[in-house]
Structure 1
Amino acid sequence: MSDADSFIDEVTEEVRRDRLFTLIRRYGWIAVVVIVAVVGGAGYNEYRKAQATATAQGLGEAMLAALELDAPAERATALSKIEASTPGGEAVLGFLSAAAQAEAGDTAAAVADLEEVARNGELPEIYRQIASFKALTLQADTLPADQRRQGFEALAQPGAPLRLLAEEQLALIDVAEGQRDAAIEKLQAILQDAEINATLRQRVYQVIVALGGKPAAVSGVQQG
Structure 2
Amino acid sequence: MSELFDEVDEEVRRDQLKKLWDRYSLFIIAAAILIVAGVGGWRGYQYLEAKKAAEAGAAFDRAVELSEQNKHTEAETAFAQIVATAPSGYRTLSRLRLAGEVAQRDPKAAAKMFDEIAADHSVGAEMQDLAKIRGAGLLLDSASYQDILQRLEAAAGPGATYRHSARELLALSAWRANDVNATRQWLDQIANDGETPPGMRSRAEALQALLPPVAKS
| TM-score normalized with structure 2 length | 0.82
Pair 1:46 & 2:36 matched? no
| SS of equivalent residue, structure 2 residue 205 | helix
Q: Which moved more, 1:62-71 or 1:48-57?
A: 62-71
Q: Contact 1:101–1:110 at 8 Å: present in 2 too? A: yes
The sequence identity of aligned pairs, in percent, is 28
Q: Contact 2:60–2:79 at 8 Å: present in 1 too? A: yes
Q: Which moved more, 1:188-197 or 1:122-131?
A: 188-197
Pair 1:23 & 2:23 matched? no
Residue 137 (structure 1) shift: 0.8
Residue 8 (structure 1) shift: 4.0
C-alpha distance in 1 between matches for 2:74 and 2:210: 40
Residue 6 (structure 1) shift: 3.9
C-alpha distance in 1 between matches for 2:119 and 2:185: 33
Pair 1:125 & 2:125 matched? yes
Unaligned runs of at least 5 residues, structure 1: 215-224
Whichever residue aligns with residue 205 of structure 2, its letter is Y
C-alpha distance in 2 between matches for 1:123 and 1:213: 43
When residues 8 and 182 of structure 1 are mapped into structure 2, their CA distance, relative to the original with a 3 A threshold, is closer
Pair 1:7 & 2:4 matched? yes
Aligned to 2:63: 66
Unaligned runs of at least 5 residues, structure 2: none
Q: How far does the alpha carbon of each residue in 1:179-212 deviate from its partner, in whole angstroms, 9 at most, with x for none?
A: 3454234313321123323333233233324557
Question: Which of the two has greater helix per residue?
Answer: 2
Larger Rg over CA atoms:
1
Whichever residue aligns with residue 154 of structure 1, its letter is A
Task: State how 1:1-224 maps to structure 2 within 5 Å.
Answer: 2=1, 5-69=2-66, 70-82=70-82, 83-102=84-103, 104-180=104-180, 182-211=182-211
User: How many residues are treated as equivalent by the alignment?
Assistant: 210
Q: CA RMSD in A?
A: 2.6
Q: Which moved more, 1:88-97 or 1:25-34?
A: 25-34
